[in-house]
A and B are shown apart, each in its own frame.
Chain A
Amino acid sequence: MTTIAPEESALEAVFDATVAADERIEPRDWMPDAYRSTLIRQIAQHAHSEIIGMQPEANWITRAPSLRRKAILMAKVQDEAGHGLYLYSSAETLGTSRDELLDKLHTGRQKYSSIFNYPTLTWADVGAIGWLVDGAAITNQVPLCRCSYGPYARAMVRICKEESFHQRQGYELLLALSRGTEAQHAMAQDAVDRWWWPSLMMFGPPDDESAHSAQSMAWKIKRHSNDELRQRFVDICVPQAEALGLTLPDPDLSWNEERGHYDFGPIDWTEFWEVLKGNGPCNAQRITRRRRAHEDGAWVREAAAAHAAKHGKADR
């Protein structure tokens, strides 16, 4: 595959024009190498977040306090596996494989969202994750339904549609606790206190420190800046917290008439970078468990492959 420079620039012009016209890039189209690798990294990180994100919530499946809640939680964790799967599939259209991506996750060469390195200490955390973490994720994801890469955008459409229940169930769960006994109310408040700031960090570092933002915006694989989305999220959450009868743990939170937005206090970015570096409360635990599930399953995957090799023709 020898490409001479003039051809490359012509291809790039077509690519640029397609993106500029808000049309989608499809798998077999020519695309700049950096676009491909950035997308693979972004989609993989997103997929990894879905499957690592199963853990903190699955932690409560066996202890769910009512059968209704148990069914909801199982269905939600199942959706996350499904969403991981959709996303790995869309990354695979870019010329990588799921195995390769999982390997990078297991060896720490690709990341997942740091939020899942926080522990779920009480049942109320399941609610806080649904309301705040899924809420932040949805704020991030809805614009990606219009992302320039077709398979990713299509996966996001499906995911956003399916996820609409995730946030609602979390909110409803917290509402039941908030209106429940004193102990339940306290449990809900404690969970919101612990998850609020990490949720705000989910939008990534401030715009002036964000490494990949400008290029990603130009390529339309990111459609709004980190700070813009974070502000949108805060504005949405404040009235929702009031309706819940719970407070958000930020004394600086106040309505700014002039900006038409809520002002909020400074985020502890030291904590963010520390967790990202691997010093969060659950980094090691999450990845160890993930790796073990994969290793424990190796013989199963091999067995099915061996069976297919023996019987492949007969099964069709």
Chain B
Amino acid sequence: MTTPRPADAPAAPAARPAEWPLWEVFVRSRRGLAHTHAGSLHAPDAAMALRNARDLYTRRSEGVSIWVVPSAQVTASSPDEKDTFFEPAGDKPYRHPTFYEIPDGVHHL
């Protein structure tokens, strides 16, 4: 249960000999924005994955740049470890600006 698996990858890959591997596609929608996950697709290799991603995920001008990553190369945190991973951050409100009270009339803070 603790083996790292890609976030959205098959829990138990039912691989067949001829099936092309799965790739995760990240698209930058315009300059200045980060690449965000758009979806996935199958391709025999990186070059084709990139082209398939272009054809599939940017056919309505959704992007200016694409990353493709083999799904099997993504290491994800486990939902089982959600508490140990993410809860400790929950009780540290002093990391947020709203934690601090500033008198009325003080600006630019």
Contact partner, A308, options B10, B15, B16, B45, Cβ 8 Å: B45
Kindly state the separation between the CA atoms of A316 and B11 in the bound complex, as whole angstroms. 26
Q: What 1/0 flags go to A294-316 for Cβ under 8 Å of B?
A: 00001001101101100110011
User: A171: which B residues are within 8 A, CB to CB?
Assistant: none
Q: What 1/0 flags go to A228-240 for Cβ under 8 Å of B?
A: 0000000000000
Please tell me if the beta carbons of B8 and A27 are within 8 angstroms of each other in the complex: yes
Separation in Å of the B74 CB from the closest CB of chain A? 11
User: B14: which A residues are within 8 A, CB to CB?
Assistant: 95-97, 99-100
Kindly state the separation between the CA atoms of A79 and B12 in the bound complex, as whole angstroms. 29
Kindly state the separation between the CA atoms of A312 and B12 in the bound complex, as whole angstroms. 24
Is B48 in contact with chain A by the CB < 8 A criterion? Answer: yes
Separation in Å of the A295 CB from the closest CB of chain B? 12
Is A116 in contact with chain B by the CB < 8 A criterion? Answer: no
Separation in Å of the B67 CB from the closest CB of chain A? 13
Is B7 in contact with chain A by the CB < 8 A criterion? Answer: yes
Please tell me if the beta carbons of A301 and B20 are within 8 angstroms of each other in the complex: yes
Please tell me if the beta carbons of A305 and B11 are within 8 angstroms of each other in the complex: no
Is A89 in contact with chain B by the CB < 8 A criterion? Answer: yes
Please tell me if the beta carbons of A28 and B18 are within 8 angstroms of each other in the complex: no
Kindly state the separation between the CA atoms of A272 and B43 in the bound complex, as whole angstroms. 38
Please tell me if the beta carbons of A315 and B45 are within 8 angstroms of each other in the complex: yes
Q: Which of A86, A93, A95, A96 is most buried by chain B, counting CB atoms within 10 A of its CB?
A: A93
Separation in Å of the A201 CB from the closest CB of chain B? 31
Is B34 in contact with chain A by the CB < 8 A criterion? Answer: no
Q: Which of A85, A94, A298 is most buried by chain B, counting CB atoms within 10 A of its CB?
A: A85
User: A301: which B residues are within 8 A, CB to CB?
Assistant: 18-20, 44
Provide the main secondary structure of the chain B interface. loop
Q: What 1/0 flags go to B1-39 for Cβ under 8 Å of A?
A: 100010111111111111110100000000000000001
Kindly state the separation between the CA atoms of A155 and B15 in the bound complex, as whole angstroms. 23
Separation in Å of the A25 CB from the closest CB of chain B? 10
Kindly state the separation between the CA atoms of A302 and B16 in the bound complex, as whole angstroms. 11
Kindly state the separation between the CA atoms of A201 and B28 in the bound complex, as whole angstroms. 41
User: Known contacts A26-B79, A98-B42, A308-B45: does B19 contact A93 (CB below 8 Å)?
Assistant: no
User: A85: which B residues are within 8 A, CB to CB?
Assistant: 41, 56
User: B56: which A residues are within 8 A, CB to CB?
Assistant: 82, 85
User: Known contacts A28-B7, A304-B20: does B45 contact A89 (CB below 8 Å)?
Assistant: no
Contact partner, B19, options A78, A98, A162, Cβ 8 Å: A98
Q: Which residue in chain B gives the minimum CB-CB distance to A89?
A: B40
Please tell me if the beta carbons of B48 and A304 are within 8 angstroms of each other in the complex: yes
Is A261 in contact with chain B by the CB < 8 A criterion? Answer: no
Please tell me if the beta carbons of A89 and B41 are within 8 angstroms of each other in the complex: yes
A-B contact pairs, 14 of them (CB 8 A): A26-B79, A27-B8, A27-B11, A28-B11, A86-B39, A89-B39, A89-B41, A92-B40, A94-B11, A95-B10, A95-B11, A98-B42, A298-B18, A308-B45
**B interface with A by C-beta (< 8 Å):** 1, 5, 7-20, 22, 39-42, 44-48, 56, 59-60, 76, 78-79
Contacts A89-B40, A93-B8, A312-B45 aside, 17 further interface pairs with beta carbons under 8 A come to A1-B1, A27-B11, A28-B7, A28-B78, A89-B22, A92-B10, A93-B10, A95-B13, A95-B14, A97-B16, A97-B19, A98-B42, A99-B19, A162-B60, A304-B48, A308-B44, A311-B45
The 9 A-B residue pairs whose C-beta atoms are closest, nearest first, are A304-B44, A95-B11, A308-B45, A308-B44, A99-B19, A89-B40, A93-B8, A97-B14, A95-B10
